[in-house]
């Protein structure tokens, strides 16, 4: 009722403004038998009309009429989504998935939040990030662990620290058995601590390089860091604090990182890193960064890496894979645009079945940002 009256009032304003505009044109033409060239419409009248049109569009968009709401109840915008849009920004990509966004924001305020991790993951992976805040209480495991690991490499992680409803595996032991590369907490240690091929860069060697360049390593980001093994090693061996970006794609990666006493960042690759400019000593790109990422997303990501790295900081590209020809013609020049010093640049064939079939190679590189840019 209130919306209808408001819209009618605005329509009345349109009629009045239109009549004023018509009278203005009429008065400018009847004064002379030989009409002069058309007189430009004053800016203030155009601004008034544009304001009225914008008001109508806003009211129509945010307050659908009662008839349309009755005909299509699923299209009604959730009340808390409208409220949130008035106090905080909503990512533009969210508007590309209105049905998913409406489902996410369709909840009962001040009660328990819906259990919708798959919906959240889908929205985030489609660029709807950060998700709008909700006024509800998050769900927690029914029987949380009585104690938490005090080491970054525990013999096992407590299963009771995860809500397993959405996963086919219901324990970390199952995940370790079916996905040993991701959930064997010691799986990556050898490649990070020993030199077995030209693609390896042992942590001892990296830290020595940084020390000799008078570039201390204290803070960093591990992009696509899985369960956080790189961050765990850096913290345990060198007291370096690493933030680990990871997604819960088919497994509770974020929970695993947190249970190890590390900091997970639940952000997709296309998201701006939530840290300030020039504050990181190191950014490492793990195997999640590869040729399957759209080129434009990768380009923006590398320039965001440059944004967060301090002068003299390091970009570590660890086993990036692509077709050999693409590395030469696309990805190599893309990384080269940064203008970083090549401390290490090693390329080797990817010898698994997929690599052999597609002519793929690995790139491991350590690049140092110039100390100053002007």
Chain-centroid distance of CA 222 in Å reads: 14
Domains observed in the chain: 83-141 (no CATH), 184-369 (3.40.50.150)
For residue 207, give the nearest of 165, 171, 172, 237 by alpha carbon.
237
End-to-end CA gap in the chain: 59
d(CA 343, CA 31): 81
Q: What is the pTM of this model?
A: 0.77
213-232, pLDDT tens digit by residue? 999 999 999 999 999 999 99
339-354, pLDDT tens digit by residue? 999 999 999 999 999 8
CA atoms within 13 A on the CB side of 284: 26
For the residues 188-203, what does the mean pLDDT come to? 87
For the residues 68-81, what does the mean pLDDT come to? 62
170 vs 66, residue with greater confidence = 170
What single string gives the DSSP state of each residue in 120-159?
Answer: HHHHHHTT--SPPP-SSBPP--SS--SS--SSSS-SS--G
d(CA 38, CA 202): 77
102-159, pLDDT tens digit by residue? 999 999 999 999 999 999 999 999 999 999 999 999 999 988 898 999 999 999 999 9
Position 290 scores a pLDDT of: 92
For residue 258, give the nearest of 243, 268, 273 by alpha carbon.
243
280-285 and 263-265 as β-strands: parallel, antiparallel, unpaired?
A: unpaired
* C-alpha torsion angle, residues 104, 107, 111, 114 (rounded to 10): -40
H-helix or E-strand containing 267? none
257-291, pLDDT tens digit by residue? 999 999 999 999 989 999 999 999 999 998 889 99
């Amino acid at each position: 009722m209130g919306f209808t009256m408001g819209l009618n009032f605005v329509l009345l304003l349109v009629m009045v403004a239109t009549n004023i505009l018509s009278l203005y044109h009429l008065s400018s033409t009847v004064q002379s038998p030989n009409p002069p060239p058309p007189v430009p419409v004053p800016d203030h009248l155009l601004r008034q009309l544009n304001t009225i049109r914008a008001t109508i569009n806003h009211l129509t968009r945010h307050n659908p009429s009662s008839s349309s709401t009755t005909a299509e109840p699923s299209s009604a915008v959730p009340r808390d989504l409208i409220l949130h849009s008035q106090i905080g920004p909503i990512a533009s990509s969210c508007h590309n998935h209105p049905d998913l966004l409406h489902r996410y924001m369709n909840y009962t305020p001040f009660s328990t939040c819906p259990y919708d991790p798959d919906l959240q993951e889908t929205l985030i992976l489609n660029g709807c990030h950060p998700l709008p805040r909700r006024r509800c209480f998050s769900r927690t495991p029914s029987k949380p662990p009585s104690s938490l690991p005090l080491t970054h490499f525990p013999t096992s992680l407590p299963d009771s620290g995860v809500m397993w409803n959405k996963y086919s595996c219901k324990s970390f032991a199952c995940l370790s058995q079916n996905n040993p590369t991701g959930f064997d907490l010691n799986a990556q240690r050898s490649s990070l601590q020993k030199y077995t091929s030209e693609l390896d860069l042992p942590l001892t060697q990296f830290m020595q390089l940084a020390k000799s360049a008078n570039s201390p390593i204290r803070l960093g980001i591990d992009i696509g860091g899985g369960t956080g093994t790189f961050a765990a090693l850096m913290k345990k061996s060198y007291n370096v604090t690493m933030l680990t970006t990871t997604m819960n794609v088919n497994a509770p990666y974020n929970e695993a990182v947190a249970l190890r006493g590390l900091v997970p960042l639940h952000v997709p690759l296309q998201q701006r890193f939530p840290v300030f400019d020039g504050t990181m000593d190191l950014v490492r790109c793990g195997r999640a960064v590869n040729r399957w990422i759209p080129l434009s997303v990768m380009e923006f990501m590398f320039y965001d890496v440059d944004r967060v790295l301090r002068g003299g900081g390091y970009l570590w590209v660890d086993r990036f894979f692509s077709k050999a020809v693409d590395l030469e013609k696309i990805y190599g020049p893309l990384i080269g645009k940064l203008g970083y010093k090549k401390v290490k640049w090693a390329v080797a064939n990817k010898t698994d079945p997929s690599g052999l079939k597609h002519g793929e190679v690995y790139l491991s590189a350590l690049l140092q940002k110039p100390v100053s840019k002007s």
